[in-house]
Structure 1
Amino acid sequence: MTEIMPDSPTPSFTPGGRRRHRKARQSGVGLRRALVIALAVPVTSAALAGPSAFAVDKGVGTTAKDTSPSKGPDADDQQMAANLATRVLDRRLGSDVSGVVLDADSGNSLWDHNGATALMPASNVKLATSTAALTVLGPDHRFTTKVVYGDGTLTLVGGGDRTLTGADLGELASSAVAGLKAAGLTSVKVAVDDSLFPEPTLANGWNTGYYPDSVAPVRALVVDGHGVQDTSLDAGQAFARQLTAAGVTVDGAVTRATVKATDFPVARHRSAPLSDIVHTMLKTSDNNIAETLLRMTALGAGRPATFEGGTQVVRQVLSQRYGVSLDHFEMYDGSGLSRADRIPAATLADILELLTKPRHARVLGSILDGLPVSGEAGSTLGPEWGRFDDVNSKCAVGKVHAKTGTLTGAVALSGLTQGKDGKWKVFSFVENGSTANPNDIKDAMDGLAATVNGCWA
């Protein structure tokens, strides 16, 4: 997918100071020890590596640190803040609005409107989920789907790969058929093992209308992202059909089973790297991928693969690894569909500020690269969604990198853009409860981002 980039050259991020509400950070050695104890796994040392491909290719890398005395906001930032103070009162946004703008170089707050107020963040929760997943599992982690044989049964074993395709399943079936024929077998039973993820499959705060279309009940096995109530049996049935097409007789219906230690491995499929999966998840705001990543992050940290296990790990990673404040932070799922989720705009901005630091680029770079770009077709900020297409915001097409969030009664937009002064800004805007038309609310949100960019002066 092609990204639309700013017309002017992009200056680099430089490591800057911490915001005052962020928790004091431990030393590197102490921090790693704390996480080993808290998460039961070591945090990857890759977090200390150099800038990501995004930084190299798009000019968001390292420059010499500015050692000049700290100065207050310049004239451009003052005008931006004054414009935001007026535009955040737009009636389309309603009265329950939270917003923060930070200077990426220094981490200083340039504008704050109820920034500490916890609101329903919708899909901006995915920023927290992806940060934890990449930190615990590492950007090169891959998920494995297996087929094993025992007692006349081929069992398809789910490994938490929400990107498994019919073609991938076909390759597994081909390997299985070859093994069966080599053993002189022409018929087999088929089972699925999705025991990797325990119940419940539905999160606190999900409306019944959300599943299985907006999100499927969370299981460890799925094919082609099918939105069905039981994705595991659905995948097993697709696997059985491929076996039948290859000339193997499948006896009976597909059932659930738990693999035995004596079962013989027949085939396996490994997913793309986690960094690629996170990139896709953020571009399209894929709820199902987010929920699977939350479960796998819990497992990677030695916790039960439940909503509670996953959200506990997210909290520990944000707080203990990165020093992000969790004041008023409430998270019940990985996708942000839960209407019980509450996150302040200030916290979302703190998470995004991590992406501007070169020391985090190796691990978290795919989040920065995966943020939708204003006007980028195929992303949630594309023209097909009516984003950045009105008279006030269209000037910012190609200039805003941000995560969207949309639920009934909640719209959020959090990301990064260059200001009028050419310096990168981190922003987060969240509104709850507006009764305006959703498209009008999004237009108002896009206008706030265009204001931070400075093109809507």
Structure 2
Amino acid sequence: MRTEKLWRAIAITLCAAVPVSFYVVGDLTDAFPGVLTLSTEQQGEDAGPRAQGEDYDREQADPIVPTPATASTRTADEDLAGRLASHAKDPVIDGGLAYSVVDAESGDVIAERDADTARVPASTLKLLTASALLRSVDGDQRLTTHAVLDGRTLTLVGEGDMTLTRERVDALAKDAAKLAKENGQDQVALRLDTSALPGGENPAWGDNGRAGGWVTPTAALAVDEGWLDGEQYGKKSADPAGDAAKLFAKDLEKHGVKVSGGADAHVEGAKAPEVGGDVVEVATRSAPLTDIVQHALQTSDNTIAELMAHLTAKAQGLEPTPENAAKAVDTEVRSLADELGVPQKDLEELVIRDGSGLSTGDRVPPRLLSAILGEVASGGAPQLEPLLYDVPIAGLTGTLEERFGAKGVAGARGTVRGKTGYLAGTSALAGVTVLPDGRTVVFDIVVHGFDGADADKAKAAVDDVAYELARRT
């Protein structure tokens, strides 16, 4: 068992170490800007790394196995702790700094400040939501949307796939029209069955809900996540399942099967009959849940994060409502913390009111989040490894693509992986990196209490703190 954990630790370390060497080689050869680059740093819309790393050999970082504690590592840890603590005096932080840094292999705390006080996690909560889902379901599972034909009645059945595209809806309608014609029907009454996932809006979102463009109400099915203008923070559908049914009806008619009463005449609240005998169906399936989780972590997708929480509730046998979704994530996180031996006092202030982190009522202590990430990085929870593999890479991907651009922190580009978070005076980053001596560490950094007008400065302050972990000199 110890050997297995060691090999998993090596794999995780390589996961973080390869980007280091990849970035160094690319930096030296001017594939993208950084502290070693020979070209002038890009500015404006074209700023950022160019993905040309495939043209270069990837050197292996050494050592790849975390080194045991020695006098030198203890000295290094003391130095790191001092440098981290010094940032509490930075102007925008002004004392509002909390963090927890943990050695992934040993579980030892390397540095911490105010780590047991629960803070607003913002979107770093998505890490807990993802962990809850991946502990509750098979990551290879796909979400299926059915079209069930019973005589002259066609029922569209959703199971939670909010990633339907217009092309997939059209393909499903084409298959359903063909099925209807094969059964002698050129006109059907359309029903909509959303009983598998009633969903809805979460009151805990407050002003950060659909009206502000933050998130779509969770639904049994949706086209393009219910984003009406294709923008992550643009206009959101108030009835994503109903809108999907209308599009499906229009596509049915395009493929030669009329809908009684027209495309807007579908009946909601129906229950599809069991398939068998004269009751037949066609279906479309989503990507695997692991891919959906990856998308949510990379882009900080609130809609998908809420869906993940609802699917967790469903897996636990609860009716997937917003309240039960938050309850299910809370239950799963507490169960995981108990398995990890997290002190009970670190759970006393834990509050989870949604799955996305949009609620200002959410509270998570940095020590808890770093403990969970540490268990994953050490190989103790293999089903949760997407929490480390799928989060953005500083300066390269996802919500960190445009971060760590300042000259003073550019050394962290390509070496730090983490989930970002920003909400209501909180800027956070939780993830994994490799110290200069080769040890893998996990961390949760929270800057809090700043004025909203200082949002950019607060995010930059988080980058400054995180850079200390990857700092080579």
Shared fold, TM over 0.5: yes
Gaps (5+ residues) in structure 1? 11-56
Q: Distance in 2 between matches of 1:9 and 1:419?
A: 15
CA deviation digits over 1:47-106, x for unaligned, max 9? Answer: xxxxxxxxxx9989x98897x788695232222111111113212124432111111121
- What is the match of residue 358 of structure 1? 379
The offset of 1:408, in angstroms, is 3.1
Instruction: Indicate yes or no: 2:117 matched with 1:117.
Output: yes
CA deviation digits over 1:239-260, x for unaligned, max 9? Answer: 1121121122222223313224
- What is the match of residue 428 of structure 1? 444
Q: Distance in 1 between matches of 2:364 and 2:413?
A: 27
CA deviation digits over 1:225-274, x for unaligned, max 9? Answer: 22311100110011112112112222222331322435623211222211
* Partner residue of 1:341 out of 356, 362, 378: 362
- What is the match of residue 231 of structure 1? 240
Counterpart of 1:451 in structure 2: which amino acid?
Answer: E
Q: Distance in 2 between matches of 1:293 and 1:335?
A: 9
Change in Cα spacing, 1:178 to 1:212, as seen in structure 2 (3 Å) is: farther
SS state of the match for residue 162, structure 2?
coil
CA deviation digits over 1:342-362, x for unaligned, max 9? Answer: 11111111121122122422x
The offset of 1:164, in angstroms, is 1.8
The offset of 1:304, in angstroms, is 2.1
- What is the match of residue 254 of structure 2? 245
> Contact 2:327 / 2:353 at 8 angstroms: preserved in 1?
no
- What is the match of residue 431 of structure 2? 415
Q: Distance in 2 between matches of 1:313 and 1:70?
A: 42
Change in Cα spacing, 1:210 to 1:234, as seen in structure 2 (3 Å) is: closer
Instruction: Indicate yes or no: 2:281 matched with 1:274.
Output: no
* Partner residue of 1:438 out of 455, 462, 467: 455
- What is the match of residue 188 of structure 2? 188
- What is the match of residue 267 of structure 2? 255
* Partner residue of 2:305 out of 290, 295, 301: 290
- What is the match of residue 401 of structure 2? 382
The offset of 1:310, in angstroms, is 2.7
The offset of 1:403, in angstroms, is 0.2
Return the structure number with greater relative CO, CA threshold 8 A, min gap 6: 1
> Contact 1:146 / 1:265 at 8 angstroms: preserved in 2?
no
> Contact 1:276 / 1:366 at 8 angstroms: preserved in 2?
no
SS state of the match for residue 335, structure 1?
coil
- What is the match of residue 418 of structure 2? 402
> Contact 1:98 / 1:344 at 8 angstroms: preserved in 2?
no
The offset of 1:418, in angstroms, is 1.0
Q: Distance in 2 between matches of 1:208 and 1:448?
A: 28
TM-score by length of 1: 0.81
> Contact 1:147 / 1:156 at 8 angstroms: preserved in 2?
yes
Q: Which moved more, 1:337-346 or 1:304-313?
A: 304-313
> Contact 2:393 / 2:417 at 8 angstroms: preserved in 1?
yes
- What is the match of residue 304 of structure 1? 319
Counterpart of 1:257 in structure 2: which amino acid?
Answer: G
Change in Cα spacing, 1:261 to 1:302, as seen in structure 2 (3 Å) is: same
Q: Distance in 2 between matches of 1:208 and 1:327?
A: 26
- What is the match of residue 350 of structure 2? 329
Instruction: Indicate yes or no: 2:15 matched with 1:6.
Output: no
Q: Distance in 2 between matches of 1:209 and 1:260?
A: 31
CA deviation digits over 1:337-396, x for unaligned, max 9? Answer: 0111011111111121122122422x112221111000124x00012xxx1111221111
Q: Distance in 2 between matches of 1:451 and 1:176?
A: 57
Counterpart of 2:441 in structure 1: which amino acid?
Answer: K
Alignment size in residue pairs: 401
Q: Distance in 2 between matches of 1:166 and 1:396?
A: 40
Q: Distance in 2 between matches of 1:199 and 1:314?
A: 15
CA RMSD of aligned residues (A): 2.7
Counterpart of 1:368 in structure 2: which amino acid?
Answer: L
TM-score by length of 2: 0.78
Change in Cα spacing, 1:147 to 1:94, as seen in structure 2 (3 Å) is: farther
Counterpart of 2:289 in structure 1: which amino acid?
Answer: L
SS state of the match for residue 191, structure 2?
strand
The offset of 1:142, in angstroms, is 1.6
Counterpart of 1:280 in structure 2: which amino acid?
Answer: H
Counterpart of 2:247 in structure 1: which amino acid?
Answer: A
SS state of the match for residue 93, structure 1?
coil
Q: Distance in 1 between matches of 2:70 and 2:317?
A: 43
Gaps (5+ residues) in structure 2? 1-15, 25-57, 227-235
Instruction: Indicate yes or no: 2:388 matched with 1:371.
Output: no
> Contact 2:137 / 2:312 at 8 angstroms: preserved in 1?
yes
CA deviation digits over 1:406-455, x for unaligned, max 9? Answer: 12322111111111222111111112220152111111111111111124
Q: Distance in 2 between matches of 1:397 and 1:64?
A: 22
Change in Cα spacing, 1:161 to 1:59, as seen in structure 2 (3 Å) is: farther
Q: Distance in 1 between matches of 2:311 and 2:118?
A: 27
Counterpart of 1:450 in structure 2: which amino acid?
Answer: Y
SS state of the match for residue 368, structure 1?
helix
Q: Which moved more, 1:283-292 or 1:178-187?
A: 178-187
* Partner residue of 2:469 out of 438, 447, 452: 452
CA deviation digits over 1:164-194, x for unaligned, max 9? Answer: 2222212211210111111222222223221
Residue pairs, 1:92-107, within 5 angstroms: 92-107=92-107
Change in Cα spacing, 1:208 to 1:416, as seen in structure 2 (3 Å) is: closer
Counterpart of 2:446 in structure 1: which amino acid?
Answer: V
Counterpart of 1:148 in structure 2: which amino acid?
Answer: V
